[in-house]
Structure 1
Amino acid sequence: MKKVVISVFSFFIVFVGTYVLIGYLPNFRIKLDAPPLEYFVETIKHMVFFKSLVSVLVGGLVSGALFIIIRRKNENAMNLR
């Protein structure tokens, strides 16, 4: 149960981080002369589908890899007993 919670938590952290990072990459940056909060909100809304799709893929890969690593670590620990 603990490894599932860790994987889900890591998925959400990686998803949000990837989503925000994509918005600030030079090719995806919006041209808007506005206060920082408005710029941040518009950056989040810009290209929502594409950024969400990429973020889900990256989050799934990272959390899946983490799940496998934790499972193998637990299996190795049980084999040593």
Structure 2
Amino acid sequence: MKKVFIYIFSFFIVFIATYLIIGYLPNFRIKLHAPSMEYFVESLKHMVFFKSLVSVSVGLLVSGLLFIIKRRTNENAMNLP
């Protein structure tokens, strides 16, 4: 259960980080002169489906890589003499 939690936690951390990074890339940045909290909320809502799709893909990729690396290290540890 602990291993599953680690993969789910890593997925959500990578998802959130990717979503925020995409929101502040120059091509995806919104042009709005407003207070910083309103700008942040509007930048989260801008192009939500595209940013979510990319973030899910990156999150699954990173979680999958962690799973593969962990699996291979466990297999190598079992094969030691």
Give the structure-2-normalised TM-score: 0.93
Question: In the TM superposition, what is the alpha-carbon distance from 1:3 to its structure 2 partner?
Answer: 2.9
| 1:15–1:59 CA contact under 8 A, matched in 2 | yes
Task: State the distance in 1 between where 2:43 and 2:9 align.
Answer: 24
Matching of residue 68 in structure 1 with residue 68 in structure 2: yes
Question: Within 5 A, what are the aligned runs for 1:11-30?
Answer: 11-30=11-30
Moved over 3 A (4+): none
Per the alignment, residue 78 of structure 1 pairs with 78
Question: In the TM superposition, what is the alpha-carbon distance from 1:74 to its structure 2 partner?
Answer: 1.1
Per the alignment, residue 8 of structure 2 pairs with 8
Per the alignment, residue 39 of structure 2 pairs with 39
User: Which runs of no fewer than 5 residues in structure 1 stay unpaired?
Assistant: none
Per the alignment, residue 59 of structure 1 pairs with 59
Over aligned residues, Cα RMSD in angstroms?
Answer: 1.1
User: Which runs of no fewer than 5 residues in structure 2 stay unpaired?
Assistant: none
Give the structure-1-normalised TM-score: 0.93
Equivalent pairs, count: 81
Equivalent residue letter for 1:19 = Y
